[in-house]
Structure formats: C-alpha cells, structure tokens
Amino acid sequence: MIMNTLPIIENNIWQPEFECMRRDDLEALQLQRLKKAVQRASALPFYQEKLPAEKLTADSIRSLDDLRRLPMTTKADLRDNYPLGFMGVTRNEIARYQGTSGTTGKPTWVAYTQQDVVNWSNLCARFLVAGGLKREHTVQLSFGFGLFTGGFGLHFGIEQVGAAIIPISSGNSERQLMCMLDLQPEILICTPSYALKLMDTLGQGDIDRSKLNLKHAFFGGEPWTENMRTRIEEGMGIRCWNNYGLAEIQGPGVSGECAYRNGMHFQEDQFIFEVVDPQTLEPLPDGERGEIVITPLVREGFPLLRYRTRDIGFIYNDGECPCGRTSRRMSRILGRTDDMLIIRGVNVFPSQIETALLKIDSLAPHYMIEVSRPEAMDEVTVHIEMRPEMFSDSMIEMQNIRREISGAIAQVTGLHIKVNLVSPNTLERFEGKARRVIDHRKLVD
C-alpha cells in the first residue's frame, strides 16, 4: 500500500496520551494490563480448567510473547457456557447487557460494567474524532438501538465528543431523508448497505441532494469494499470512513480509520491483536492475511483471552501512520472463515466478487450470490442490478455486459459463474446488515 501523504480532513486525536504513546511505553502498558486480564480470566470456570494445565498465572506472564501460551477462546466456547459463563463480575456490578446479531438460535449475551461502558464510549469517540466528528456537528445515528451494539455504542461515543445526536435508529428511509433535510445533520452513521438503500431512496424521491447538509459518514458492522466506498461517495457526495468491532469484544470502536484512511487503527492500549493461520493457529507476520484474534486488556464485565473473531484481514507493515498515532493498522475485513465459499474446490470470498462487480460502471451496487449443487457440481449465479440508465432491450448489449462481468469475476476468482442481470430495484434492500449470499448447499447438507 502506498502511504497517503496528505490527510483527507483535519487530523484530530481524541486521547493522544493513549493513541500516540511511544511503542515501548505502549508495550509496557499492554504487559501490565495483560497480567491483570489473565488474573480476571482466571476467576472464570472456563479458564480455571485451561490455565492451570499450562501452569499459567498472572505472575507467569513476563513478556508479551507469553500471550501465545494462553488458550484461545471461540464462539463455540461462548455457546457452551450460555448464557453468562464468561461474566467476569457479580450481577450487581453489571451496568449493561448487549447481544450479538446471530441469525440462528440464541444471541450471545455480553455484559459491561460501568467502567467498561466509559471505556467503550471513549474508544468510539476516538474513531469518530479521527474521521472528522466535531463537537459542533449533528449526527444522524441510523443503527438499530437495542441489543445490537451499533446503536447504543455509538450513541455514547458521540455524547463523549459532545456533538448532537439524532437517535433515529434504522428503517423507514423516507423518514430518514426527511430528517436529513429538516435537521441538517453533517454526519450519517449506519451500515454501508443501509447507506445504499438511502441513496436509492434519495434518487427516487423529490428531495434535492443539494438541500442536505451531509458531509461525512461512518460505516461499519458488515464487510464492504473500496469500490463500494467509491460508489457511495460519488452517489451521495460525501466522504465515508470505515470502523470495525464485534459484540464479544465490545462492539464498535475496536479499530477505525483516521484522516489518512490507510487502514483502521487498532486501539492497542485496550486490546492485543494477533493474526493467525486459521488452520494451524500459528501467528502470521504483518502483511499476511489470516484470522484476527483479539485479547481485551481492560474489559471487566466479559473478560476473554485470545478471542478468535473468524474475521480475515492483515496488519499493515508500512511503518507508522503520518497522523501521529503509533498503533498498528488493520486492513479492511476481507472475509470471514465461515463466509468463505468453497466452489468446486476453490476458496472464494463474497468481497472478491463485490470488488469485481463494482468495477463495472453499468452495474448498480446491488447484488446477490446464489450457490447450489444441482447435480454433483457446484453452481454459482450472481444476480446483479443494472443502473437504470444503462438497462437496455438489446440482447446483444446485455450479452456483452454479462460477458464482461463473468470475465471480471473469473479474473479474481478463477471461476466461471453464471450472471443474471436483473432490472433496477428488484433485489432486496437492507436496513441493517446485508445478506448477500444464499447457499442452497448448506441448506441441504
């Protein structure tokens, strides 16, 4: 990656005392906090079984390398200890419960002490300020409020900064646009797929874009690509920033982009990040893609050691960011270990397909990937909408576009797949996280 030399916006820092620490001071703080984290975890029955087997105590952690001796924790471990087997304090010390947005079965409950909530708000404030939020701004917060960590997590972060919040939650796009027109927020926060839906509604309705005051957006909660960023920025005339997090670790605020937008800064004073090979679990060098594993260092309500996120990314190895933060930066999420499609033996991530599709100008950013196995062979069909102005009755033109799309996908995945061009506005739109893959094989296996 080529390091940007100019910031895209003013370069502001919320907690420079942590975000810009000298690396050796930061590592000393991490070590001190890691010992405390091990001590907290050792009070939980799950770790009580694992830690003594390796003769691990807070005192035996002497350097950050000792982290690798600690046991990993998986989503299955959380499920096996449902509902609150990982709660690190007594019930009366808990200030908040949130949950993960699992699509099947019960949610994973996560618990926060009052101090966890304060820390979390500051971590959200960090990436919001890094991406341009100021006290004088008004923010339209279009994440669902409820168990999903997006709504309340960001709400408290914005409050820390002192900006005005419109807690409109997700859904009802016409009302969202009316609110943008009447209250003139400069900032929008939601999932990138909800931004697409708002962009559509804006295009179809009679609100004039030039009457809105929207300048920036913070998107997170689901994978999106650089090409998707370009589409939304051009379509809505705004700048978009990426931020990442997951409920098990806290929620939003685990990492986010700064004014230079060259990767998402990890909040390393509060978490230790590793990238490991998902098969062997061996650590990978910076620059190599693998599964992100996170150890929260100060979390009281829900202490976890080496949580396997199942998210795939890598850590940049191009030196420190010119913004002044000393933390390492992570790439976009490139896929999830459980989202990876194995098509005729080839590993494919939906994000690769998105990248190929959105390079083609005549296509709208709405697509669906359908996988089936009608006989012994896997078949993939990509359904994609055309831009209304490009939709044509000419069979030849449509045939050429289909050819262009399958060529672009074959180039990134090596696979030849079917392309179904659909009319504008026919595929499902999403208010929260998008579901872009239907895998019929999983339904029958």
> What residues make contact with ligand DLL under the rule CB under 6 A?
100-101, 143, 148-150, 220-223, 242-247, 251-252, 309, 311, 333, 336
Q: Nearer Cβ to ligand DLL, position 222 or 320? A: 222
Q: Tell me which residue of 433, 128, 125 sits closest to 257, measured CA to CA.
A: 128
Kindly state the smallest distance separating residue 60's Cβ from ligand DLL, in Å.
31
Kindly state the smallest distance separating residue 242's Cβ from ligand DLL, in Å.
5
Kindly state the smallest distance separating residue 101's Cβ from ligand DLL, in Å.
4
The long-range contacts involving 361-365, CB below 8 angstroms and separated by at least 24 positions, are 361/387, 361/390, 362/386, 362/387, 362/390, 362/401, 363/387, 363/390, 363/401, 363/405, 364/388, 364/424, 365/196, 365/228, 365/231, 365/232
Report how far apart, in Å, the C-alpha atoms of 130 and of each of 67, 137, 166, 237, 379 are: 29, 14, 20, 20, 43
Kindly state the smallest distance separating residue 273's Cβ from ligand DLL, in Å.
13
Kindly state the smallest distance separating residue 359's Cβ from ligand DLL, in Å.
20
Q: By Cβ distance, which residue is nearest to ligand DLL?
A: 220
Query: First CA to last CA across the chain, in angstroms?
Result: 41
Kindly state the smallest distance separating residue 92's Cβ from ligand DLL, in Å.
26
Kindly state the smallest distance separating residue 154's Cβ from ligand DLL, in Å.
7
Q: Distance between CA atoms of 297 and 31, rounded to whole angstroms?
A: 9
**Would you say 327 and 260 are in contact if contact means Cβ atoms under 8 Å apart?**
no
Cβ partners under 8 Å of residue 76, min gap 6: none
**Would you say 241 and 217 are in contact if contact means Cβ atoms under 8 Å apart?**
yes
Q: Nearer Cβ to ligand DLL, position 244 or 273? A: 244
Q: Distance between CA atoms of 306 and 310, rounded to whole angstroms?
A: 12
Kindly state the smallest distance separating residue 245's Cβ from ligand DLL, in Å.
4
Q: Nearer Cβ to ligand DLL, position 148 or 314? A: 148
Q: Nearer Cβ to ligand DLL, position 160 or 242? A: 242
Q: Distance between CA atoms of 180 and 169, rounded to whole angstroms?
A: 13
Where do runs of H (alpha helix) occur along 300-438? 350-357, 395-413
Q: Nearer Cβ to ligand DLL, position 99 or 283? A: 99
Q: Nearer Cβ to ligand DLL, position 90 or 104? A: 104
Q: Nearer Cβ to ligand DLL, position 337 or 372? A: 337
Q: Nearer Cβ to ligand DLL, position 130 or 247? A: 247
Phi-psi category of 172—alpha, beta or left, where left has phi over 0 and alpha has psi -120 to 50? Answer: left
Q: Nearer Cβ to ligand DLL, position 30 or 351? A: 351
Q: Is the dihedral of CA 308, 311, 316, 317 positive or negative?
A: positive
Kindly state the smallest distance separating residue 338's Cβ from ligand DLL, in Å.
9
